[in-house]
Structure 1
Amino acid sequence: MDGDRSAALLVRVWLEDGAPAFRGRLTTVDTSPGRRGTQEATVALASSPDDVLDAVRAWLDAFLRDAGNPIDSDG
């Protein structure tokens, strides 16, 4: 299990006073074994549902690309 790699992506959204649209921030942290204390990093800022979806897709693509040998993928 020492070679297992994992990460978490957190999507935060909020409404600002008087604003008709939401704001969002996507952050990630490496949760792989042995990586305790890894800092949270901002992946993207978003102001539309499409921005959020694009950022999630880009994050997943990068995670799978960096994994080297994905077990399951659509591509």
Structure 2
Amino acid sequence: MVIYKILLIFMVALAVGSLGGSGLLFLIPEAFGLAAEGDTSYILKSTTVIGGIYLFYLTERIMKMLMQWREVSFS
């Protein structure tokens, strides 16, 4: 039962990542007409957006880890 839960969480995370990446990298630029025939410059812009989101996520996680470390160290 434990293996099933772990596998299910992994598969859901994989599905969300695939759909999110596909949407940000290909579907949204196509919907707004940014993807002209043979022009792939929109991929760099989309990748920059994904990188920015990831950077903010990492910043938040690092700050939480530092706050927990400070609480443990100074308690």
Asked if these proteins are the same fold (TM beyond 0.5), I'd say: no
Q: Which has the higher helix share?
A: 2
The interval holding the TM-score normalised by the smaller chain is 0.3 to 0.5
TM-score (norm 2): 0.36
TM-score (norm 1): 0.36
Q: Which has the larger radius of gyration?
A: 2
